[in-house]
């Protein structure tokens, strides 16, 4: 049994669990390649025009492996944190893909309601049953995969750099080097360190979010706002770069909230879509980092 796993959207955060779980159930894992030009072109070809870049890229990953596997895993995230909502594109992702890409193999779309142990067990049990595995094997695969996932931290916290920048945005923009044009490497080369939201305590994020007149109920909005507000307010970084997907409703609100909160704090917003050119992005990063250096000298 070959199971296709597209390397798009939240794969960057949860692949240790997913890959290990399916492998332990005896499947051969077929992952797509890291995002590249061909995958983006496939995504643009198959998805609807007004989808955001990460959703288009996800379509490209699916299209690139659909003929190589018996099943394809298209996660239907209903929430990632208890009581918080997620962008509706995650809940409807399987339908979007099914209706846009022809001749798919069977798809695995069991909903994921939160990432606590109990909810993940429910999800794993259903998938294991569907793949006709016995309860003991499913339980073992689940426990092992959860342990591997818990040890994994995708975040970045650079030390020993003169200047530090907080990289804010959805995980699939921050950790997909094709989408963000390898921004972390570029900044490090300029001798600038990077910090991501995983290195700020949940309590600090909540504290900032709770100060808002109306609290955002979407997980990504809460995390991006709370992280940026915390590091900006406490001057834990010298500037903020927000990587935003063109046409993302959540980003458009969160960016304004951050600017409103941090007033004159240096913030660069990089909007990315399939037309974004690397040269233009590099120029903007250089201008921004020059400005930060002047401020600090
Ligand atoms: S949150 Fe924004 S970038 Fe992410 S899937 Fe939804 S619309 Fe796209």
Domains of the chain: 2-151 (3.40.50.11890), 163-296 (3.40.50.11900)
Give the lowest-confidence range in 35-39, 135-139, 184-188, 217-221.
217-221
Structure-derived torsion over alpha carbons of residues 115, 117, 123, 126, reported in degrees to the nearest 10: 180
Going by pLDDT thresholds of 50, 70 and 90, the confidence category of residue 192 is: very high
pLDDT, mean of residues 38-65: 96
pLDDT, mean of residues 113-126: 87
Report the pocket of ligand 1 as residue ranges, CB < 6 Å.
52, 54-55, 87, 89, 170, 220, 245, 248, 250
Give the lowest-confidence range in 40-49, 107-116, 251-260, 282-291.
107-116
Q: Which helix (H) or strand (E) holds 23?
A: helix 11-24
Q: Give the Å distance between the CA of 54 and the centre of ligand 1.
A: 7
Q: Give the Å distance between the CA of 259 and the centre of ligand 1.
A: 20
Q: Which of 75, 96, 248 to mutate to test the pocket of ligand 1 (most atoms within 8 A of CB)?
A: 248
Question: Nearest CA to 74 among 95, 47, 102?
Answer: 95
Going by pLDDT thresholds of 50, 70 and 90, the confidence category of residue 117 is: confident
First-to-final CA distance of the chain = 60
């Amino acid at each position: 049994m070959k199971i296709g796993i597209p390397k798009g959207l939240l794969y960057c955060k949860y692949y240790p669990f997913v890959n290990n779980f399916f492998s332990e159930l005896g499947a051969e894992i077929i992952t797509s390649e890291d995002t590249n030009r061909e995958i983006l072109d496939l995504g643009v070809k198959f998805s609807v025009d007004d989808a955001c870049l990460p959703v288009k890229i996800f379509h490209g990953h699916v299209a690139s492996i659909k003929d190589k596997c018996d099943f394809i895993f298209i996660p239907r995230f209903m929430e990632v944190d208890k009581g918080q909502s997620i962008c509706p594109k995650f809940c409807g992702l399987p339908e979007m893909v099914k209706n846009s890409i022809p001749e798919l193999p069977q798809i695995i779309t069991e909903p994921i309601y939160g990432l606590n142990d109990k909810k993940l067990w429910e999800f794993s049990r259903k998938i294991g049953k569907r793949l006709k595995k016995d309860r003991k094997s499913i339980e073992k695969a689940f426990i092992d995969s959860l342990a591997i996932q818990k040890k994994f931290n995708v975040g970045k916290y650079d030390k020993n750099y003169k200047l530090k920048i907080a990289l804010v945005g959805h995980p699939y923009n921050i950790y997909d080097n094709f989408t963000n044009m390898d921004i972390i490497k570029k900044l490090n080369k300029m001798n600038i360190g990077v910090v991501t939201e995983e290195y700020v305590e949940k309590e600090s994020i909540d504290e900032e979010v709770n100060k808002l007149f109306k609290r955002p109920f979407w997980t990504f909005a809460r995390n991006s706002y709370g992280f940026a507000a915390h590091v900006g307010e406490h001057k834990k970084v010298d500037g903020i770069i927000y990587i935003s997907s063109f046409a993302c409703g959540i980003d458009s609100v969160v960016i304004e909230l951050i600017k409103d909160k941090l007033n004159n704090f240096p913030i660069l917003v990089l909007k990315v879509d399939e037309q974004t050119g690397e040269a233009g992005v590099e120029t903007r990063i250089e201008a921004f980092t020059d400005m930060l250096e002047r401020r600090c000298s």
